[in-house]
Structure 1
Amino acid sequence: MKVLIVDDEKHVREAIRYFVPWEKYDVRDIYEATNGKEAMEIILEQQPAVVFTDMRMPLMDGAQLLEWLHRYSPYTKTIVISGYQDFDYVKPAIVYGGVDYLLKPLNSKQLISAAERAFQKWKEEKLERERTFHQNIQLNVLRPLYWDKTLSDLVNGTIAFQDLEEALFKELGLPRNAKRCRTAVISLQSSGGQLLQRFQGDIQLTSFVLANVCNEIVSSRKQGFAFRYWHEGADVAVLFWDGVDEAESLLLEINESVKRAYGIPLDIGLSTVLPFPEGLCAAFSQARQGLAERNLLEKGNRIHLYRKDRPEAAPDGGAKNAGLLEKLGLSLLSGDTEKIVRSLEEWTGSIAGSGVLTMSGLKVWEERLEHVLTKWRQEWAGSEEALSDEPSFPAGMDESGNFSIERWREGVKAYLLAKVGESKISRSSDSRIILEIRDYLDKNFQQEITLQHIADRFFLSRENVSRKFKQVTGENLSDYLTNLRIDKAKELLQNSEMRLSRIAELVGYEDEKYFSRVFKKATGQTPREFRKREEE
């Protein structure tokens, strides 16, 4: 605590300094002033906990100082010291909350007692202020969570509008005469989940940032409110109640803000205009449907309106495509790479030729392809192979965040050929060891790995490891490990702001300069050049 003594008489200031046991109350700094003007400057700069002040002083007397303290430093406690018993001097001390009024000459016991009361009162009020401050912080943290959960339940139909009506009016600015509404939904998986990758896959943080961006545009203008959706089917939802006619332009503005900040556009589903509040649930359902049934083969459009007459997805009437998928399954059983590639291109070409491929339709086709792969594994390699991991198909998004059927097909082709190659390899015992070695490299590439280390771990000679790895995979072990590390480094350079030294460490290189040389040799660019090109 800090203390200020204000008195134009030096001996009075010295007496107060002498009598009060400051160290007992943890008082570190004691300041002095000879009048109210000097006191004001010290108070503004030092914020003392307690002020001892005389009443009669030049320039500004005690009564004026007490009034100023009451207005500009209300937490400061005051002890008035005066040589006059006139009520005119007592009154300001009472009106402006003085802790005590002491008469000169000072009595040491009374002075100490008054100081102790002032210190105690200041400490108690300080603790209460801190408690209230932390409580307010907790409320500010919980308030958005409350509205996320509450509005999620509202549009989901598990809570009635009448239960929230008054709170929506007071806290979110809902107009009392609102008659219409629209709802928009945003999925963080749109654009291949690129925005989510920018936040290291943290869904909570990404949706929090996105909801804030939306509210900067929508809520600040009192045209609606954005919130994080707590259930499946969407990540962020925007409820429009006063901006239903401007909803599309507002969503385009939101998308531009996200694109400026992160270079990533988002796909947004938007409902029709429905009556408020009875149409809330239907509006939310429409928005989700508009997003899920967007045509991936259309380029450029990011706001996907709900339409009753939307064309059907291919899986609902794609007998031809289903037949071509079955043909792909037969080519997998043959193990013939050329047949597999040809069948895959026929199937994906037929899907693209339909002119319509919705997100929900794509998921259906991927589920059917997964079923074909499961059947192939069981027939080709028996029950052991059937227990392998579920397939992870590519998102198929290009650099602009648009779906590319060509990119998706190439990703599926790479996946299928890799699985066919692995299945062929797994038929020989030597090859199984190489698969184990490759799996070990995939999981431990960030560690220091030498040929001798691999040889010792798998009970082979160094020569055998090199020879067998080359025979089975067609690639040198060192080249495989380097390419694996470079690919991981590219991911980190694209999706994080980590220092190069940290990235080098994470992909198995202790020396940043050596890592840069290896990276340039493999890609033709230094890591910094690669990152800069990706950011452009």
Structure 2
Amino acid sequence: MKVLIVDDEKHVREAIRYFVPWEQYDVSDIYEATNGQEAMDIILEQQPAVVFTDMRMPLMDGAELLEWLHRCSPYTKTIVISGYQDFNYVKPAIVYGGVDYLLKPLNRKQLISAAERAFQKWKEEKRERERTFHQNIRLNVLRPLYWDKTLSDLVNGTITFQDLEEALFEELGLPKNAKRCRIAVISLQSSGGRLLQRFQGDIQLTSFVLANVCNEIVSLRKLGFAFRYWHEGTDVAVLFWDEVDEAERLLLEINESVKRAYGIPLDIGLSTVLPFPERLCAAFTEAREGLAERNLLQTGNRIHPYRKERSEAALDEGDRTAALLENLRLSLLSGDAERIVRRLEEWTDSVAGSSMLTLNGLKDREARLRHVLTRWRQEWSGSEAGSDDEPPFPGGMDESGNFSIERWKEGIKSYLLIMVGESKLSRTSDSRLIREIRDYLDKNYQQEITLQHIADRFFLSRENVSRKFKQVTGENLSDYLTNLRIDRAKELLHNSELRLSRIAELVGYEDEKYFSRVFKKATGQTPREFRKRDEEG
């Protein structure tokens, strides 16, 4: 604590210094002033806990100083020391909260007793201020979580508007005359989940950042409120309760902010204008359907309003594509790779030929394909393996975050050929050994690996390693290792700011220039060109 003694008489200031055992009260510094004006400057700079002040002083007397302290330094405790018992001197001490009023000449015991009360009161109030401060911090941390959970329950219909009415008015600024609403929903899986990748896959952090971006535009203008949705299917929702006709413009502004900050646009579903609060749940359902039923084949538009009319072609695949899938299943049983690819392309071409392909429609088609593959695996291996054992299908998003039917077709084709290769592994005598070699490469590709190293580790000759690997997988071991490293390098170039020399080391190349040559041979681009194109996209 710091103390200030204000008196125009030096012997009084010295007496106060002498009488009070400052070290007992953790007083670190004692300052002096001869009048109120000097005292003001010291108080502003040093923020003393306690001020001892005379009442009659030149330039600014004690009454004026007490009044100023009450306004400008309310936590400071004051002890008035005066040679007068006149009520005009006592009154300011009472009005402005003085701890004590002592008469000169000073009594040592009274002075120490008054000082002790002032120090004790200042410490108690300081502890209370700190407790309140930390409590407010906790409340400020919990407040967004509370509204995330509460509004999620509200749009779900778990709680009613009447349960929250007053809190919505007071805390979120909901107008009491609000009669209309719209809801927008955002999934972090849109644009291929690229925004989520920027935050290392942390859904909580990503949705927190996104909700804050939305509220910078919506909540600060008191036009609505964005919150993290606590259940599945949506990550962030935006409730518009005023100027609902401006919702699309505001969402475009949100998307532009996200794109400007992270280079990634997002797809947003938007409900129609509905009565508030009666149709709030319906608005949320519409927004989710607007996002799920967006046409993936149309690029550029990122705001997807709900529409009642839906294409029959998008809702039902029909007998024709079912027959194509059956042909694919039969070709899989033959084990003929060329025939399998031909039948798969017939099916993927039928999907690409649709006039409309929604997210739900794509998931439905992929579910049917997975059912065919699961049946084939069971028939091929005689196992009871279910679809849960299979990895997810590759996504079809391009560098701009748009759905690319060509990329999707190529991804499905590569996926299927890998599965065909796995099936061959399960039926050859050398399958277990080659599986172990591939598992070893998958886990240790970042190390220096030679053919001789593999041969020594698995007790084979170099010639045997190459021949068996090629026979079982249809691919040279060196090509498999190179492709593995290049794929990992692409991920690091896409999702990190690491230097090229570091990326080269992480994927098993000590020489950055050699890594660049291998990368260009495999992709047609240098690593720098790949990263630049990725960033521009």
Tell me if both proteins adopt one fold, taking TM over 0.5 as the criterion.
yes
Distance in 2 of aligned mates of 1:495 and 1:462: 37
**In 2, Cα distance between equivalents of 1:447 and 1:57:** 83
8 Å CA contact retained: 1:225, 1:239: yes
| Aligned CA distance change for structure 1 residues 113 and 508 (closer, same or farther; 3 Å) | farther
Alignment of 1:449-460 (within 5 A): none
Aligned residue for 2:368, secondary structure, equals helix
Q: Which residue of 2 aligns with 1:230?
A: 230
Distance in 2 (alpha carbons) for counterparts of 1:19 and 1:481: 85
Contact 2:504 2:515 in 1 (8 A): no
Report the residue type matching 2:519 in the other structure: T
Distance 1:426 1:473 in 2: 11
In 1, the alpha carbon distance for the partners of 2:454 and 2:104 equals 91
Q: CA separation in 2, counterparts of 1:319 and 1:158?
A: 41
Pairing 1:69–2:69 present: yes
Residue by residue over 1:453-504, the C-alpha shift from the partner in whole angstroms, topping out at 9 and shown as x without a partner, is 8677656678865665566556665665565344334323322456778767
Residues in 2 aligned to 1:465 and 1:484: alpha-carbon distance in whole angstroms: 18
Name 2:487's counterpart in structure 1. 487
Tell me which moved more, 9-18 or 123-132: 9-18
Contact kept, 8 Å, 1:329 with 1:372, in 2: the verdict is yes
Letter in 2 for 1:25: Y
SS of aligned partner of 1:60:
coil
Mapped partners of 1:100, 1:501: distance in 2: 73
Corresponding position: 1:414 with 2:414: yes
> Does 2:30 correspond to 1:34?
no
Corresponding position: 1:368 with 2:336: no
Alpha-carbon distance between aligned partners in 2 of 1:456 and 1:30, rounded to the nearest angstrom: 81
State the superposition RMSD in angstroms: 2.8
Q: Which moved more, 1:174-183 or 1:387-396?
A: 387-396
Unaligned ranges ≥5, structure 2 = none
- 1:520 corresponds to which of 503, 516, 525: 516
State the Cα distance separating 1:431 from its structure 2 match. 3.3
Asked whether the 8 Å contact 1:331–1:339 carries over to 2, the reply is yes
Question: What is the CA-CA distance between 1:387 and the residue it aligns to?
Answer: 8.2
SS at match of 1:355: coil
1:399 offset after TM fit, Å?
A: 1.4
SS of 1:44's partner is helix
On the 8 A contact 2:256/2:265 being kept in 1, the answer is yes
1:146 aligns with 2:142: no
Correspondence 1:210 to 2:210: yes
* Offset of residue 233 of structure 1: 2.4
2:489 and 2:507 in contact (8 A); partners too = no
C-alpha separation in 1, matches of 2:402 and 2:366: 18
User: What is the distance in 2 between the residues matched to 1:27 and 1:457?
Assistant: 74
CA, structure 1 residues 463+133, in 2 after alignment: closer, same or farther (shift >3 Å)?
farther
Partner of 1:382: 382
User: Cα–Cα, structure 1 residues 445 and 350, in superposed 2: closer, same or farther, change >3 Å?
Assistant: same
- 1:165 corresponding residue in structure 2: 165
Shift of 1:398: 1.0
Of the structure 1 ranges 406-415 and 267-276, higher mean CA displacement relative to structure 2 is found in 267-276
Relative to structure 1, is the Cα distance of residues 183 and 500 closer, same or farther in structure 2, using a 3 angstrom cutoff? same
Aligned partner letter, 1:67:
E
Partner SS state of residue 219, structure 1? coil
Structure 2 length normalisation: TM-score? 0.90
What is the one-letter code of the residue matched to 1:171? E
**How many residues were matched structurally?**
532
Contact 1:200 1:496 in 2 (8 A): no
Shift of 1:411: 0.8
Tell me the SS of whatever aligns to 2:398. Answer: coil
Q: Residues 187-336 of structure 1: matches in 2 within 5 Å?
A: 187-314=187-314, 316-336=316-336
The answer for the alignment partner of 1:13 in structure 2 is 13
Residues 99-114 of structure 1 aligned to structure 2 (within 5 Å): 99-114=99-114
Conserved 8 A contact 1:186-1:235: yes
The one-letter code matched in structure 2 to 1:199 is F
* 1:166-193 Cα shifts (integer Å, max 9, x gaps): 2222222222222222222111111111
The answer for unaligned runs of 5 or more in structure 1 is none
Aligned AA (2:404) = S
In the TM superposition, residue 410 of structure 1 has moved relative to its aligned partner by: 0.8
Q: Are the counterparts in 2 of residues 185 and 291 from structure 1 also a CA contact under 8 Å? A: yes
Per the TM alignment, residue 515 of structure 1 is displaced from its structure 2 partner at its CA by 6.5
* Distance verdict in 2 for CA 1:522–1:20, change over 3 Å: farther
Task: Provide the secondary structure at the position in 1 that maps to 2:53.
Answer: strand
Q: Deviations over 1:389-446 (max 9, x none)?
A: 3231122011121111110111111111112112213333433222123223324556
SS in structure 2 opposite 1:383?
Answer: coil
Question: What one-letter code is carried by the residue in structure 2 that aligns with 1:300?
Answer: G
Compared CA separation, residues 255 and 425, structure 1 to 2 (3 A):
same
- Structure 1 pair 51/386, CA: closer, same or farther in 2 (3 Å)? same
Letter aligned with residue 169 of structure 1: F
Distance 1:432 1:106, change over 3 A: same
Cα distance change, pair 25–443 in 1 and its aligned pair in 2 (3 A): farther
Question: Which one is further off, 123-132 or 443-452?
Answer: 443-452
Corresponding position of 1:346:
346
Report the more deviating stretch, 514-523 or 3-12: 514-523
Distance in 2 separating the partners of 1:432 and 1:220 = 62
Q: Contact conserved, 2:2 with 2:30, CA < 8 A, in 1?
A: yes
> For 1:68-90, what per-residue CA distance to the aligned partner results, in whole angstroms no more than 9, with x for missing partners?
11111111111222233332222
